[in-house]
């Protein structure tokens, strides 16, 4: 699949006069909400883990030196915590451009802290997109992140801001915090 998903995402969901839709963010959408929203609540989704397995040559790296950003990988029994935003459907015009580097919108159940549930959308970069990099040792991921820089800023800022946001959400994400440790104490 091409890394540019704007057109595919535009065809994927019909909002048919709905006033608002829940969006679940688990990466930069947690710490960088550059879009209008009606409500924002910590939430979780089930069966997925966050991994720095997606390449970024448009935001946090370049074609010559891609950065690494997060996507979700299926893992039965896992919980991924993040931030849910209730947004007007027209906000997807902006989000589809922002998430165009390989991310497709999927429908998912969302679980809020008070036990309430809702259906929402989440952007996932699946392994068949051309920008997908896949697994690597966390030390090597940290090295790649330390050397990458793109139009949205340095790749290490993405990692550090995400780690900070996950601490605020009390999400003990061993993968993210492991990479953070290698970044702060390179061997």
In the complex, the residues that contact ligand SIN under the rule CB under 6 A are: 25-29, 69-70, 99, 123
Query: Do 29 and 96 form a contact (C-beta atoms < 8 A)?
Result: no
To ligand SIN, the closest distance from the beta carbon of 131 in angstroms equals: 12
- The residues with which 2 forms a beta bridge, in sequence order, are none
To ligand SIN, the closest distance from the beta carbon of 124 in angstroms equals: 8
Q: Which is nearer to ligand SIN, 28 or 129 (CB)?
A: 28
To ligand SIN, the closest distance from the beta carbon of 184 in angstroms equals: 21
Q: Which is nearer to ligand SIN, 133 or 185 (CB)?
A: 133
- The residues with which 44 forms a beta bridge, in sequence order, are 81, 111
Q: Which of 99, 119, 157, 187 is catalytic?
A: 99
99 is catalytic: yes
| Backbone φ and ψ of 12, nearest 5° | -80, -30
- The CA-atom distances, in angstroms, between 158 and each of 10, 68, 150, 174 are 26, 9, 11, 16
Residues tagged active-site: 99
């Amino acid at each position: 699949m091409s890394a540019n998903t704007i057109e595919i995402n535009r065809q994927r969901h019909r909002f048919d006069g709905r006033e608002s839709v829940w969006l679940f963010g688990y990466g930069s959408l947690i710490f960088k909400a550059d879009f209008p929203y009606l409500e924002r609540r910590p939430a979780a989704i089930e069966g997925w883990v966050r991994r720095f397995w997606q390449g970024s040559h448009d935001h946090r790296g370049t074609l010559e030196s891609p950065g690494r950003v997060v996507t979700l990988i299926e893992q039965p029994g896992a919980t991924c915590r993040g931030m849910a935003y209730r947004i007007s459907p027209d906000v997807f015009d902006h989000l589809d451009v922002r998430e165009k580097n390989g991310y497709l919108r999927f429908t998912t159940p969302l679980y809020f802290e008070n036990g309430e549930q809702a259906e929402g959308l989440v952007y996932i970069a699946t392994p068949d997109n051309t920008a997908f990099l896949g697994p690597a040792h966390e030390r090597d991921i940290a090295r790649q992140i330390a050397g990458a820089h793109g139009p949205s800023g340095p790749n290490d800022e993405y990692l550090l801001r995400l780690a900070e946001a996950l601490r605020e959400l009390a999400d003990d994400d061993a993968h993210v915090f492991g990479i953070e440790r290698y970044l702060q104490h390179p061997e």
